[in-house]
Amino acid sequence: MTELERSMESLIMVFHRYAKEGGDKKTLNKKEMKKLIEAELPNFLKTQKDPHTLDRIMKDLDQNRDDELDFEEFVPFVAGLSIACEKHFALHQDKKGKK
């Protein structure tokens, strides 16, 4: 498997590890999403000043308004965070190059 294929497999496995805890094994409810973020992205919530961040994330991602996230609804969250991290990385690299 390539590095990218392993990353995709890891994303799928992490999603399903937390989704299987609740009633529907193919979706994340708010409690499962919170557990996933706390365990897999511990620095993300620590940097959020608004206590309603998780509520807004769930609302923004939940396209069918069923109060749960399926994999298709979850992926944009990871993609958005990845884009933000890449921008931070690029900015850091630019500053490094200017020294």
Identify the CA nearest to 68 among candidates 46, 36, 43.
Answer: 36
The boundaries of the domain holding residue 34 are 3-97
What is the pLDDT confidence band of residue 98, given thresholds at 50, 70 and 90? low
Tens of pLDDT, residues 13-69: 999 999 998 778 999 999 999 999 999 999 887 888 888 999 999 999 999 999 999
**pLDDT above 70 for 96:** no
Give the E-state strand segments of the chain in sequence order.
Answer: none
CATH number at residue 50: 1.10.238.10
The CA angle 14-18-24, to the nearest 5 degrees, is: 125
- Amino acid in the structure at residue 3: E
Query: What pTM value is reported for the model?
Result: 0.84
- Measured CA to CA, the distance from residue 96 to residue 60 in angstroms comes to 35
Terminal Cα-to-Cα distance of the chain (whole angstroms): 38
Work out how many domains the chain is built from and give that number.
1
- Amino acid in the structure at residue 62: D
What pLDDT, on a 0 to 100 scale, did the predictor assign at position 45?
77
